[in-house]
Amino acid sequence: MSGTNSVVAIRDLGKTFGNEGSQTVALSGINLTIQPGEFVSLIGPSGCGKSTLLRIIGDLTGPTTGTVEVNGKPAARARTDRDYGMVFQAPVLFDWRTIEANVALPLEIIDMPRARRVQRIAEMLSLVELSDFARHHPWQLSGGMQQRAAIARALAFEPRLLLMDEPFGALDEMTRERMNTELLRIWEQTGTTIVFVTHSIPEAVFLSSRVVVMSARPGRITKVIEVGLPRPRSDETRELEPYFELITEVRESLKAGGHGSDAGTIADEPLEALQ
Amino acid sequence: MIDRLRYYLPTLAVFVGGIVLWEGAVRALEIQRFLLPPPSDIAAALVTNRDLLMAAGLTTLIEAVGGFAIGLTGGLVVAFATSRFALARGALMPFAIAANAIPIIAFAPIANAWFGVTSPVSKMMIVAMLVFFPVMINTVRGLTSADAASLELMRSYAASEREVLTRVRIPNALPYFFTAIKVGATLSLIGAIVGEYFGGATVALGRIIVESASFLRFAQAWSAIIVAAALGIGFYLIIIGIERVAMPWHASMRGQT
């Protein structure tokens, strides 16, 4: 089922944490193929392994069983080839670097010549509308601006794949909605494939071309929902009838998964800490 | 300029006020001069003995700075070596932390015996020991305490160990390192002077303090203490200056230009 062109191809993936004494099955029987240019959200309650799945795609941790291919290569190879950019929940900007120097970090590591680097940084900062803040230090920027800088950094070496782990989870609702609109603009401008982890149903529906619904214990995919909302999406999208219908559909699917309740969320917290 | 003056004015006022109070109290309460000489006597002793004090200050400063350099170098070398190897770190750190907790200054007479009581090397070795442990412990902490997310970010770039070291671990260690050498700067003068208390070249601040006190020349002893204090403050200020240049980004430096 995975085309040769797929950006991500996951087959029969499972992940188990712990030793023989106490084992926790974090992920089980995961199959997922993502095509170029898709925007795929992974949504589910805490402890469903959605962040773990993202980290396995990025080879930040390995699977226990099954395989992951990125751009047709094993995930480890894709990482050393710098095939993807990663955005974490925290911006992870270095205080000792200015914003432009933070964006330059991955370019320094791939030894991009200085002249091209300077040009590339300028492009990236203009893409995320931070050109005026190039010489600022991270602590001088708001949370939303810091996360935009992190996105610029992740896109700096033009990866075909962008992995985002609840990037707007720490932002207030208004900023989050604005960031969502901006992210879609960047996605449309760059044509990058995005895998996006979130626990916000409206965010997943608004952004995605497909929403992958997961459930906990063990973490598995319970449903994949196609989001056919027209593009480009804007604030008006959030008022469309189909938008609300899709939100309801995702919510129902999460409930059907059985671990969507608040009690379950709290009980699953220790597992999240393991990841 | 005016703003700066206004900022430092209260400090200056307290300083001048303290001196005046001291002078006034000694005179008004007729405190015995050998118990607490008035500032004017100490100032006079500073002027009279300026050549001796300059030479003695230089001797002590060389011991302190020389020992500081040895301890700093040793601390950094061991810190970088052990930070690479978790096993070596696990084996060495408990001893380093224990050694840092003992009063190393107690070894001063022994160091004098080992390296020659008249040689500046014996004082440098005491100072080096005092400086070594805080520098080593703090640098190891700084090098190994980079947050997990930063390291994962570097992993996502497939960055080499060397790149992680130069771009994450070393900048992350700078605040820890400067904390250690600020302590080290103060310890280095303490080490040198206390080392001198137990014998050594006669033209040294520690010797002047001990000998003046035993001959009840307290104004002279105080004048040597003032020189030692000035050296300590000067050394500390130089390190703060370097710190500002090295990490203007750090939270403690923000809002200062």
Question: What pLDDT shows up at residue B69?
Answer: 97
Crossing angle of helices B86-101 and B120-144, in 10° steps, is: 130
Is A70 in CB contact (< 8 Å) with chain B?
no
**DSSP calls for A141-160:** S-HHHHHHHHHHHHHTT--S
Average pLDDT, chain B: 91
Q: For the CA atoms of chain B, what is the radius of gyration?
A: 22
pLDDT band at A258 (very low <50, low <70, confident <90, very high): low
**How far is Cα B233 from Cα B218, in angstroms, rounded to an integer?**
22
pLDDT band at A275 (very low <50, low <70, confident <90, very high): very low
Averaged over B220-246, what is the pLDDT?
Answer: 94
- pLDDT digits over A7-41, tens only? 999 999 999 988 777 888 899 999 999 999 999 99
Q: What is the ipTM metric for this complex?
A: 0.85
**How far is Cα B147 from Cα A149, in angstroms, rounded to an integer?**
19
Answer whether residue B20 shows pLDDT above 80.
yes
Residue A91 with chain B: CB contacts under 8 Å: none
Question: What pLDDT shows up at residue A272?
Answer: 42
- pLDDT digits over A152-191, tens only? 999 888 899 999 999 998 888 888 898 899 899 989 998 9
By CB atoms closer than 10 A (0-12, 13-18, 19+), residue A25 is: middle
Answer whether residue A3 shows pLDDT above 80.
no
Q: Are B156 and A139 within 8 A, CB to CB?
A: no
Q: For the CA atoms of chain A, what is the radius of gyration?
A: 18
Residue B147 with chain A: CB contacts under 8 Å: 92
Is B153 in CB contact (< 8 Å) with chain A?
yes
Q: Which two tokens stand for residue A143?
A: 């949370």
Question: What pLDDT shows up at residue B48?
Answer: 93
**How far is Cα A178 from Cα B47, in angstroms, rounded to an integer?**
71
Pairing mode, if any, of strands A39-43 and A65-70?
Answer: unpaired
Residue A80 with chain B: CB contacts under 8 Å: 158
What is the percentage of chain A residues whose pLDDT exceeds 70?
92
Question: What pLDDT shows up at residue A1?
Answer: 46
What is the percentage of chain A residues whose pLDDT exceeds 90?
73
Residue A215: strand, helix, or coil: strand
- pLDDT digits over B76-126, tens only? 999 999 988 888 888 888 888 888 888 888 888 888 889 988 889 999 999
Is A185 in CB contact (< 8 Å) with chain B?
no
Answer whether residue A237 shows pLDDT above 70.
yes
> Domains, chain B, ranges and CATH?
42-254 (1.10.3720.10)
Out of B157, B158, B249, the one facing A95 most closely (by C-beta) is B249
| Rounded-to-10 torsion of CA B104, B109, B110, B112 | 110
Residue B155 with chain A: CB contacts under 8 Å: 60, 79
- pLDDT digits over A119-153, tens only? 999 999 998 889 999 999 999 999 999 999 999 99
CA B14 to mean position of chain CA atoms: 25
Q: Are A106 and B249 within 8 A, CB to CB?
A: no
Q: Are A225 and A247 in contact (CB under 8 A)?
A: no
Distance from CA of A175 to the nearest CA of B (A): 23
- pLDDT digits over A74-92, tens only? 999 999 999 999 999 999 9
**How far is Cα B136 from Cα A206, in angstroms, rounded to an integer?**
52
pTM recorded for the entire structure: 0.83
